[in-house]
Amino acid sequence: MSREFKVGDKVRVVRRVNDYSAWYDESVNRFGDASTGREVIRVYKSGNVLVDCDGEPHLFPASHLEPVTEEQQPEPEEIDPINKEYQTRKHGYRYVHYSSNGKEPRIYIGAYIEDGIEYPIRHTRSGNRFDDDATNMFDLVEVKPRVKRTVYLNVLKDEVEDYDSVFCYESREAADYSSSTDRVLCIKLNIDLPHGYGLNGDAKEFTITEPN
């Protein structure tokens, strides 16, 4: 009993053969091999004809495919290019959004900027490069806002309790004004970290030492 796939189904190549034309073998190697991370492809025509992630038709008999269920390939959350900032996954090129009201409702139209030049590109609503269900260097990732500020830390020594206290101030003047005879250090700290850094247990350890 042969499988039937409808337009829009996600499928995976599970059988490879060597008795087809060279271009077919190339398409399987390039677009259906796990080593490339491009196993999952989408049906664009019913029957045995599929269109791979670059929009070029390649023939895959239905007997060589299996459906990809939602459990296997959950739908990612949609991005919000109008209200949030994005960049490309690998090189960090800034993304500018043009339109989301084209003929194809699943597509975001925009461009990535490299050396001041805008290169048009299309993405799915989830931020993947259009028609590429696997990880791609041009996928969009959100640019998290950064916390940039300079603070001053007063370190106070309590001789009785034998412990140190640390207090944070927005200026040196405020740190000096609030100081006491127990202050043993005043440290200027420049912070430039992404918003949310360290909140999930991913904080790195920083050591403050005397500069050379």
Instruction: Lowest mean pLDDT of 52-61, 67-76, 78-87, 170-179, name the range.
Output: 52-61
| Percent with pLDDT over 90 in the chain | 22
Contact between 95 and 46 under an 8 Å Cβ cutoff? The reply is: no
Please give the residue that has the higher pLDDT: either 38 or 120.
Answer: 120
Q: How confident is the model at residue 97 (pLDDT cuts 50, 70, 90)?
A: very high
Q: How confident is the model at residue 136 (pLDDT cuts 50, 70, 90)?
A: confident
pTM of the model as a whole: 0.42
Please give the residue that has the higher pLDDT: either 209 or 65.
Answer: 209
Contact between 62 and 2 under an 8 Å Cβ cutoff? The reply is: yes
Query: In what helix (H) or strand (E) does residue 30 lie, and over which residues does it extend?
Result: helix 22-31
Paired strand residues for 16? none
pLDDT at position 191 is 92
Cα 45 to Cα 103: distance, rounded to the nearest angstrom: 18
